[in-house]
A and B are shown apart, each in its own frame.
Chain A
Amino acid sequence: MGKVSLFIDGTQIQAEEGMSVLDAALAADIYIPHLCSHPDLPATGGCKMCVVEIDGVAKPVSSCVTEVKEGMRVTTKSEKLKQLRKIALELIMAGHPHDCTGCRAYGNCELQAMWQYLGVLHARMKDEFPEKTTLKIGTGSNVIIRENDRCIQCGRCVRACNDLRKVGAIDYQKKGLETYISTPEDLPLNQTGCRFCSACVEVCPTGALIDMEGLFRSDLPREQALVPCQAECPAHIDIPAFMRFVAEGKYAEAHAVMHEKVPFPHALGYVCNHRCEDGCKRGKLNETMSICSMKRFAAEHDESQLWKENGFQKPDTGKKVAVVGGGPCGLTAAYYLKKLGHDVTVYEKDPIAGGHMSKGMPEFRIPQADVQREIRAIEDIGVKILVNSPVENVAELKKDYDAVLVTVGTSVGKKLSYLPGSDFRNVYTAVQLLKYNRIKLVDPSYEMELDLGKTVSIIGGGNVSIDVARTLRRMGCEVNIVCLEKGEKMLADKQEIKEAREEGVKFYDGHSNEAIEGTPDQVTGLRVHEVESFYFDENRNLVENQIPDSTKVLPCDAIVFASGQVTGLTADFGLELNRFGYPVDPAQGKSGFKTSVEGVFTAGDVITGTKFVIDAIAGGRDAASGIDIYLGGDGKIDETLVERTLNPEIGPVEKFGQQPRVPTEIPDPETRMSEAHKWDKVDKNWTCEKAQCEASRCLQCDLRVPIKKVENFNAYGVR
């Protein structure tokens, strides 16, 4: 592109050939008022705000549609131009409501800024409102709010929809003599080809098109908030990119996108608590995207393992790092620390690594083979994992390493010791039981003293309780779940509860425990009563409204507590602990990255208390970064494993807004519980065809991020 030189209000400026006079002036920090033009959209010259005079041209012209020419002399400010702009703005405002303060775009409205700049008020022109018949035409949705009366028909939304996106859901329409903007036949957006990309909202200069309230978080930078799934994900996986790859059938690329942020996408695809889906904009439209299962799908259909090719590996630093605890947090940190060039050894107390992924959740929810495959990939880059290697004292260990990261999590089950009988022989914790079951499936010689008998009662109603119940059913036991929360209020995932019921688990929800019946040597039952309601008082003590005469004994042979986990750390570990057994950073007086020993750090559940796998992974990433900086590195672990291009021209899809979520396949309970299949993964995921169908429902919220913002007059030096 060649350069041309021209004069704007006497100032010589340089511009690209083919540029409009408006763009050239704005680029040179000279403001020309403009309303209907937008840096990403073709100019129409429709609003006449940008009129300028050019020497040798008889009439004023719209600068947005006038190409720059060598030696051109342009006047952007004169009394005559001001008069023309005022008339044009008065005409536009004749059709616009007067109640600025009642508008959600107040303070963020280009029209408002324009009348402030030009000093124009509603006064001289005749009000068009009493005449308008198209005011009440609402064609919006739960995602895009349409306030037709605030529309100034600048046509930016029409150009965004047609020229930028090639969707064509909205256009100029006519009713009688009125021109307005709407869908053909004023259909609701979800009955058109609208893709709900919200480019129209992004470019609207007024409050005519706005995002539904609560769609985006207001506590984040705008470009992050605009992609809610990615913002909600603790590891910030680029979900829209990954969905696009699946929709295109590029599963290896999709898998690589996830590997940019997490070393366990497959495991997460089974058990993540998918906060991404809670944020999903599509959820406000009809049903959320099925993001979590899609991670598993991509991992299972990646044939080339492309992600392994493009990762960074820094040269050896000669520094040694020990990671204590081989769960998702520790392994994630180890993986990135190794990539950063450090020599990493993981100390795992159990025979298999993987933490809750491999020992805290049942086989039929998260198969061991898939977890171990992902752990192997971490070993493949040179991380040493020492199993059956508990660390007694971390301060001692530190003497052999430059840094130590403690990621022991909360791997010890808690018994409610105030409950009479909680010290009886057949009383276990969920952690013990699940770990026994998982290790036994891998190593049949693994033993633990366990006497469950015929019937087991589980105390607690969270996801862990359901996991234990379903495991026990598969081990041949009758199972009762006893929990305080009743019905809808139960803490476990609704789908999990449904599947557990189908598998024959009995629920005693809305029940409170009184005592474990029997002798120290043999449990015979659990005495419970029903509660109407309950709450915790200011001292966090339980207060219940008991239903009179509801006490009964549930006969059972063993009890499992699924009522929380603790770190199991003691002072012998060599770190200063708080009274709950969590390491503390004395400088801060609470748990955090640093500990009481220089060079020993903590991350994951051992700081936060029991959370989810994705939180542990996010914590592991931060810890790797932090330790690298401690060891003299830059702490940078972000990587791009697959190149992607955004295609903004998404085109229409008929009734796209109504497409339902595609469910994954779950076999009937008989098949699930049969001897041959009882440890098989319950969720069978999708066929490729169904996965692509589901992935293509994505609204691709990230397409909106690169759309430029129009700056108001006060952003320019010469105005």
Chain B
Amino acid sequence: MINKEMLAEREKLALELAAKLPEISAAQSVGEGTCPLQWCLKLVEDARAISDGKSVMSRDGLWQLQLMIEGATRGQSGEEDLAVYKETLDAMELIGDAFTVKVAELLKANLEAYASEWDLHVRRNRCTSLVCYYDLYIDPAVCQGNGACLKAAPSGAVLGGAGMISVIKNDRELKNEAFIASCPLGAIKKCGAIKPPCPPAPVPVGSFGNAAGGAGGGRRRRRG
């Protein structure tokens, strides 16, 4: 039974929603310092927020894309997931409504423009923008041994003492903005694959050599 009025209404809504989405060029150039996967994640979340969720693509489709992108930013997606992601986008582009087709086009454009970054995330669990994946270290040149980081961290995660350069022993529970902000001097820093030199254990402030190192930059060890 075809109800043309109802279908026309749905089509109109899809077009209205599609108009609220960014242009393709935005997906291809997400801006300096922004992780392209995080851009995609936000796009899908925003899309779900405005979607009426009445068709499989606008409901489960968008949700699944969100879960897949989240997986890629958390080390929970492998290459096979990326393949399913692509298949899903292809299907959505073919049989979605105006709204979900536009979402699929944006995500495909992003995937194409940032192929190496997607590959880096999925295969190596690395994020050039240091948003999805990073390590933490305490810059020995900045640390004044004031103990603020010790208070902010769970016991045993950071070693140090009064007048000693703090050393991160285990950063697993520390990767959050609150801990990073706990140092008034900004000594807690993110880094990529290569960690700048740090003392292996706390040493008195000023006793560790000229510390320097770019965040995420420098030489990369090739793996895999």
A pairs with B: yes
Please give the number of chain A residues whose Cβ is less than 8 angstroms from any Cβ of chain B in the complex. Answer: 42
Using a CB-CB cutoff of 8 Å, which residues 76-114 of chain A contact chain B?
83-84, 87-88, 91-92, 94-95
- Do A91 and B61 have beta carbons less than 8 Å apart? yes
Known A-B contacts A91-B64, A177-B63; A20 and B48 likewise in contact (beta carbons under 8 Å): no
Whether B178 sits at the interface, judged by CB under 8 Å, is no
What is the interface of chain B mostly: helix, strand, loop, or mixed?
A: helix
Whether B28 sits at the interface, judged by CB under 8 Å, is no
User: Which of B52-60, B112-120, B184-192, B206-214 forms part of the interface with chain A?
Assistant: B52-60
A50-86: CB near B (< 8 Å → 1, else 0) gives 0100000001101011010000000000000001100
The smallest beta-carbon distance between A713 and chain B, in angstroms, is: 19
Using a CB-CB cutoff of 8 Å, which residues 36-64 of chain B contact chain A?
45, 48-49, 51-57, 59-61, 63-64
- Do B1 and A20 have beta carbons less than 8 Å apart? yes
- Do B2 and A42 have beta carbons less than 8 Å apart? yes
User: Which of B18-26, B87-95, B127-135, B146-154 forms part of the interface with chain A?
Assistant: B87-95
- Do B63 and A174 have beta carbons less than 8 Å apart? no
- Complex alpha-carbon distance, A19 and B2, angstroms: 7
Whether A124 sits at the interface, judged by CB under 8 Å, is yes
- Do A91 and B1 have beta carbons less than 8 Å apart? no
User: Which of A20, A84, A91 is packed against the most chain B CB atoms within 10 Å?
Assistant: A91
Whether A47 sits at the interface, judged by CB under 8 Å, is yes
- Complex alpha-carbon distance, A122 and B5, angstroms: 36
- Complex alpha-carbon distance, A51 and B51, angstroms: 22
User: Which of B55, B56, B59, B87 is packed against the most chain A CB atoms within 10 Å?
Assistant: B56
The smallest beta-carbon distance between A605 and chain B, in angstroms, is: 52
The smallest beta-carbon distance between A373 and chain B, in angstroms, is: 49
Whether A44 sits at the interface, judged by CB under 8 Å, is yes
User: Which of A23, A45, A87 is packed against the most chain B CB atoms within 10 Å?
Assistant: A87
Whether A126 sits at the interface, judged by CB under 8 Å, is yes
Whether B10 sits at the interface, judged by CB under 8 Å, is yes
Residues from chain A with Cβ under 8 Å of B66 in the complex:
177
Residues from chain A with Cβ under 8 Å of B57 in the complex:
48, 88, 91
Whether B84 sits at the interface, judged by CB under 8 Å, is yes
B5 closest partner in A (C-beta): A42
Residues from chain B with Cβ under 8 Å of A23 in the complex:
1
- Do A59 and B59 have beta carbons less than 8 Å apart? no
- Complex alpha-carbon distance, A155 and B10, angstroms: 14
- Complex alpha-carbon distance, A91 and B57, angstroms: 8
A153 closest partner in B (C-beta): B59
- Do B67 and A131 have beta carbons less than 8 Å apart? yes
- Complex alpha-carbon distance, A84 and B93, angstroms: 11
Whether A504 sits at the interface, judged by CB under 8 Å, is no
A48, A64, A94, A124: which contacts B95 (Cβ < 8 A)?
A: A48
Residues from chain A with Cβ under 8 Å of B94 in the complex:
59-60, 84
Residues from chain B with Cβ under 8 Å of A42 in the complex:
1-3, 6
- Do B84 and A125 have beta carbons less than 8 Å apart? yes
Residues from chain A with Cβ under 8 Å of B84 in the complex:
124-125
Known A-B contacts A42-B6, A179-B59; A91 and B88 likewise in contact (beta carbons under 8 Å): yes
- Do B56 and A46 have beta carbons less than 8 Å apart? yes
- Do A44 and B48 have beta carbons less than 8 Å apart? no
- Complex alpha-carbon distance, A163 and B7, angstroms: 14
The smallest beta-carbon distance between A597 and chain B, in angstroms, is: 60
Whether B68 sits at the interface, judged by CB under 8 Å, is yes
A41, A65, A67, A172: which contacts B53 (Cβ < 8 A)?
A: A172
- Do A92 and B53 have beta carbons less than 8 Å apart? no
B49, B56, B71: which contacts A47 (Cβ < 8 A)?
A: B56
Whether A667 sits at the interface, judged by CB under 8 Å, is no
- Do B55 and A45 have beta carbons less than 8 Å apart? yes
- Complex alpha-carbon distance, A131 and B63, angstroms: 10
- Do A128 and B1 have beta carbons less than 8 Å apart? no
Residues from chain B with Cβ under 8 Å of A67 in the complex:
2
Please give the number of chain B residues whose Cβ is less than 8 angstroms from any Cβ of chain A in the complex. Answer: 33
B2, B3, B60, B80: which contacts A91 (Cβ < 8 A)?
A: B60
- Complex alpha-carbon distance, A94 and B59, angstroms: 11
- Complex alpha-carbon distance, A128 and B64, angstroms: 8
- Complex alpha-carbon distance, A40 and B3, angstroms: 12
- Do B53 and A125 have beta carbons less than 8 Å apart? no
B60 closest partner in A (C-beta): A91
Whether A453 sits at the interface, judged by CB under 8 Å, is no
A154 closest partner in B (C-beta): B56
Residues from chain B with Cβ under 8 Å of A44 in the complex:
6-7, 10, 54-55
B57 closest partner in A (C-beta): A48
B93 closest partner in A (C-beta): A59
The smallest beta-carbon distance between A181 and chain B, in angstroms, is: 10
Whether A586 sits at the interface, judged by CB under 8 Å, is no
Known A-B contacts A91-B61, A124-B84; A20 and B2 likewise in contact (beta carbons under 8 Å): yes
B48, B49, B53, B95: which contacts A88 (Cβ < 8 A)?
A: B95
Known A-B contacts A84-B91, A128-B67; A43 and B3 likewise in contact (beta carbons under 8 Å): yes
Residues from chain A with Cβ under 8 Å of B1 in the complex:
20, 23, 39-43
Residues from chain A with Cβ under 8 Å of B56 in the complex:
46-48, 88, 91-92
Whether A184 sits at the interface, judged by CB under 8 Å, is no
The smallest beta-carbon distance between B3 and chain A, in angstroms, is: 4
Residues from chain B with Cβ under 8 Å of A83 in the complex:
87, 91
Whether A18 sits at the interface, judged by CB under 8 Å, is yes
- Complex alpha-carbon distance, A95 and B84, angstroms: 16
Residues from chain B with Cβ under 8 Å of A47 in the complex:
55-56
- Complex alpha-carbon distance, A62 and B94, angstroms: 11
- Do B49 and A177 have beta carbons less than 8 Å apart? yes
- Do A94 and B60 have beta carbons less than 8 Å apart? yes
- Complex alpha-carbon distance, A43 and B7, angstroms: 9
- Complex alpha-carbon distance, A155 and B91, angstroms: 22
The smallest beta-carbon distance between B196 and chain A, in angstroms, is: 36
The smallest beta-carbon distance between A411 and chain B, in angstroms, is: 59
B1-19: CB near A (< 8 Å → 1, else 0) gives 1110011001000000000
The smallest beta-carbon distance between A178 and chain B, in angstroms, is: 8
- Complex alpha-carbon distance, A183 and B102, angstroms: 31
- Do B91 and A179 have beta carbons less than 8 Å apart? no
The smallest beta-carbon distance between A685 and chain B, in angstroms, is: 44
Residues from chain A with Cβ under 8 Å of B91 in the complex:
83-84, 87-88
- Do A87 and B54 have beta carbons less than 8 Å apart? no
- Do B52 and A179 have beta carbons less than 8 Å apart? yes
- Do A46 and B49 have beta carbons less than 8 Å apart? no
User: Which of A40, A48, A84 is packed against the most chain B CB atoms within 10 Å?
Assistant: A48
- Complex alpha-carbon distance, A177 and B2, angstroms: 29
- Complex alpha-carbon distance, A59 and B98, angstroms: 12
- Do B51 and A179 have beta carbons less than 8 Å apart? yes
- Do B95 and A95 have beta carbons less than 8 Å apart? no
The smallest beta-carbon distance between A174 and chain B, in angstroms, is: 7
A123-140: CB near B (< 8 Å → 1, else 0) gives 011101001000000000
- Complex alpha-carbon distance, A88 and B88, angstroms: 8
- Complex alpha-carbon distance, A652 and B57, angstroms: 32
Residues from chain B with Cβ under 8 Å of A40 in the complex:
1
Known A-B contacts A88-B91, A94-B60, A179-B59; A45 and B52 likewise in contact (beta carbons under 8 Å): no
Residues from chain A with Cβ under 8 Å of B80 in the complex:
124
The smallest beta-carbon distance between B191 and chain A, in angstroms, is: 30
- Do B53 and A153 have beta carbons less than 8 Å apart? yes
- A45-B55, A153-B53 are known contacts; what are 16 more A-B pairs with Cβ within 8 Å? A23-B1, A40-B1, A44-B55, A46-B54, A46-B56, A48-B57, A65-B2, A87-B88, A87-B91, A88-B57, A91-B64, A128-B60, A131-B67, A153-B54, A153-B60, A174-B53
Top 7 A-B pairs, shortest CB-CB distance? A179-B53, A42-B3, A91-B60, A87-B91, A126-B67, A177-B48, A46-B55
- Which residue numbers of B lie inside 8 Å of A, CB to CB? 1-3, 6-7, 10, 45, 48-49, 51-57, 59-61, 63-64, 66-68, 71, 80-81, 84, 87-88, 91, 94-95
- Which residue numbers of A lie inside 8 Å of B, CB to CB? 18-20, 23, 39-48, 51, 59-60, 62, 64-65, 67, 83-84, 87-88, 91-92, 94-95, 124-126, 128, 131, 153, 155, 163, 172, 174, 177-179
Question: Could you jot down 14 A-B contacts, CB within 8 Å?
Answer: A41-B1, A43-B1, A44-B6, A59-B94, A62-B95, A83-B91, A84-B91, A87-B87, A94-B60, A125-B84, A128-B60, A174-B53, A177-B49, A179-B51
